[in-house]
Amino acid sequence: METLSLILNWVAITIVAYFFVIITIYSMFFLLALKKIWKEKDIDPHEPIEDTIESVDTYPLSIIVPAYNEEIGIVPTVRSLLSIYYPEYEIIVVDDGSKDETSKRMIDHFDMVESSRAIRNHVVTKEIVGICQSTTVPHVFLVKKENGGKADALNCGINVSKYPYFCAMDADSIIERYALLKTMKPIMDSDGNVIVTGGTIRVANGCKIHRGSIEQVSPPKNPFAIMQVIDYLRAFLIGRISMTRFNWLLIISGAFGIFQKEWVIKAGGYRTTTVGEDMELVVRLHRLLKESKSKERIEYIADPVCWTEVPTTARVLRKQRKRWHQGLTETIFYHRKMLFRPKYKGVGMVSLPYYVLIEWLGPVIELLGYVLLVAGLLFGVIHLEVALLMFAVAFFYGTLFSISAVLLEEWGYKRYPKPWHLIKLFLWSFTETFWYRPLTVLWRVEGIISAIRRKHDWGDMKRKGVSSG
């Protein structure tokens, strides 16, 4: 019994040490983000737009919206995309074999007729049933295809699209009017050397939405949604801003990202065998860039440009977090050869190891910590001092960065118009350690388990060369 207690106490102290390391790394990220936001703080938000407008004509792009059973949201989404401020673009809605009236709503509302548009065979996808074009707004297209999942729908959109860049977005996200212009800026500024860009995603719940655009920002009432507001702020403001500085960024959210089509085709398109197709594609592009010794980059802009409706029930949130972590597990597994290989530069040496040791392993260690803490207190196998230390670290870790992210947001972007909005976010941050974190940690560990269960059908993806397109 005494030996067990000794071992458990040492395990607990190791966990505490692990969290100290994480806290140190996050603090570094936070300082880097602080520096970047400090530098950009006083830039007039319209200035980059004015700069961009000159060269923007040469960067037309296709917006690809995969839709599965989106009959309620699809027309408002396309409507809001129609008033986007961008000179040359097309909108391609890909109906991935919906069982509802997604296609019918599109056809009726936008007066669509059959189109004889050419389809390239860049990436193999499920069969296309038909393509329609709007007669009133001729840059709006609908592709009807057999169901094949989101990655397959995106690949199909790539085959149908005619412009050299594409923007992949979720049917339920709302993008701001200047989102395309702002997000395309790194690509234009680099003369096309940036091949992927993404922008910051925020939580739309609670905001006032009028005619498909955000009219007033305010925090939601639902506790799950509030915690996700903080979650998103933290992930985007602290993690991603720092990663992009060194070209280490591994995630461009599936909810909104812009890609150079040629490179995506070269990489083989989205992988249809993973649930984390957005991250997997970005890692694969990094890999391809490094293997072909290309100087192209992947960048991320800190401006909040896309708003998304987040889950408000434990059931749906669990499903989402499980899926995200399963996707992360799968991506790491596919690209494990890149780990600690100098050939892959910062991605292989720093960011992938970071994702493995902190983002992926974190929930496992944290869950173990919670179990030890509860068991230790119940059965007295852990010293009270050690238990207190563990709790303090968990609380500090959970709360410190949440509060910092909320502060950074207010200081840098001032999107929340009323002081009580921030106070509300602040107060909720303090509750995180007691319910939201343990729950999401548990769900993420579940994601690892489902990835392991699925491992047997992880076949290698079939590729089709560019030349056959």
Partner 1 sequence: MKKILIVDDEEVLRMLIADTLEDLGFSIEEAEDGEEAWEVIQKNSYDLIILDYMMPGMTGVEVLKKLKESTVKKDIPVLMLTARSQQKDKEELLAVGADYFMEKPFRPMKLQELVEEIFHV
Give the residue with the Cβ less far from partner 1, 87 or 130.
Answer: 87
Give the residue with the Cβ less far from partner 1, 85 or 263.
Answer: 85
Give the residue with the Cβ less far from partner 1, 85 or 396.
Answer: 85
Helix (H) or strand (E) holding 223, with range, is helix 223-234
Q: Which of residues 66-105 bind partner 1 (CB under 8 A)?
A: 79-80, 82-89
- Cα–Cα distance between 8 and 11 in angstroms, integer? 5
Give the residue with the Cβ less far from partner 1, 215 or 457.
Answer: 215
C-alpha dist (Å) from residue 65 to 28, 91, 154, 186, 256:
36, 8, 8, 22, 10
- Cα–Cα distance between 238 and 155 in angstroms, integer? 31
- Cα–Cα distance between 291 and 99 in angstroms, integer? 42
Give the residue with the Cβ less far from partner 1, 109 or 126.
Answer: 109
Q: Which of residues 162-181 bind partner 1 (CB under 8 A)?
A: 177
Instruction: Find the part of the chain contacting partner 1 (CB under 8 A) among 130-138, 188-196, 275-283, 339-347.
Output: 130-138
Strand bridging mode 128-134 / 140-145: antiparallel
- Cα–Cα distance between 157 and 143 in angstroms, integer? 8
- Cα–Cα distance between 449 and 426 in angstroms, integer? 33
Decide: residue 170, CB within 10 A, 0-12 exposed, 13-18 middle, 19+ buried: buried
Q: Which listed residue (138, 380, 465, 469) binds partner 1 by CB under 8 A?
A: 138
Contact predicate 154/126, CB 8 Å = no
C-alpha dist (Å) from residue 190 to 55, 187, 194, 197, 235:
12, 5, 6, 12, 26
Q: Which of residues 186-215 bind partner 1 (CB under 8 A)?
A: 211-213
Give the residue with the Cβ less far from partner 1, 211 or 295.
Answer: 211
Residue 177 Cβ, how far from partner 1 at the closest point, in Å? 6
Residue 108 Cβ, how far from partner 1 at the closest point, in Å? 11
Give the residue with the Cβ less far from partner 1, 134 or 308.
Answer: 134
Q: Which listed residue (3, 136, 292, 467) binds partner 1 by CB under 8 A?
A: 136
Whose CA is closest to 253, among 235, 228, 234?
235
Give the residue with the Cβ less far from partner 1, 120 or 177.
Answer: 177
Instruction: Find the part of the chain contacting partner 1 (CB under 8 A) among 135-143, 238-246, 252-260, 410-418.
Output: 135-143
Instruction: Find the part of the chain contacting partner 1 (CB under 8 A) among 133-141, 188-196, 344-352, 404-412.
Output: 133-141
Question: Residues in contact with partner 1, total (CB under 8 A)?
Answer: 22
- Cα–Cα distance between 154 and 149 in angstroms, integer? 9
Q: Which listed residue (13, 16, 107, 109) binds partner 1 by CB under 8 A?
A: 109
The tokens describing 107, both together, are 């056809």
Give the residue with the Cβ less far from partner 1, 133 or 308.
Answer: 133
3-state SS, one letter per residue, for 15-64:
HHHHHHHHHHHHHHHHHHHHHHHHHHCCCCCCHHHHHHHCCHHHCCEEEE
Does position 245 interact with partner 1 (CB under 8 A)? The reply is no
Q: Which listed residue (19, 26, 30, 110) binds partner 1 by CB under 8 A?
A: 110
Q: Which listed residue (126, 139, 162, 345) binds partner 1 by CB under 8 A?
A: 139
Per DSSP, what are the bridge partners of residue 297? 194
Question: Which residues are near partner 1 by CB under 8 A?
Answer: 79-80, 82-89, 109-111, 134, 136-139, 177, 211-213
